[in-house]
Structure 1
């Protein structure tokens, strides 16, 4: 019965290919920069993934809440110029 007590090697699990952000079609440079940080995520210890995702969330939220650099409008007031 020794064969039942001997440790068996763990079966190798296939690892899915990590998706790249190169072909994501992101045109906003701030968003592209934030997403580029995900490229290194497979090398980050799992215990630190939450921190990485929280920082990414905060960076993307700040980008959403910021005024566009080239909005083409003189005023951000939607009623400006309306009679």
Structure 2
């Protein structure tokens, strides 16, 4: 016969502290805007994280490949 164990009543371990916006030394506004999306991750379902990371990758790649003398994708200055 298998013994049943009592439910574990210990509190869940707290999640690691997620960094807050600000304090980064990011001078490129396109990169800062892309990175800012990461601060929404803790509130999103895990299934949506891949979409956020893929979008972040695409935005950072576009910022890396853009000419700093040209306006950014939103029509503003880069």
Q: What is the root-mean-square deviation of aligned Cα atoms in Å?
A: 2.0
Which 4+ residue blocks in structure 1 deviate beyond 4 angstroms? none
Per-residue CA deviation, residues 24-44 of structure 1 (Å, 9 max, x unaligned), is 100100000001111111001
TM-score by length of 1: 0.71
Gaps of 5+ in 2: 71-78
TM-score by length of 2: 0.75
Gaps of 5+ in 1: 71-83
Per-residue CA deviation, residues 40-78 of structure 1 (Å, 9 max, x unaligned), is 1100101111110000000000111111137xxxxxxxx
Larger Rg: 1
What is the count of residue pairs matched by the alignment?
A: 68
Deviation at 1:6, TM superposition (A): 3.0
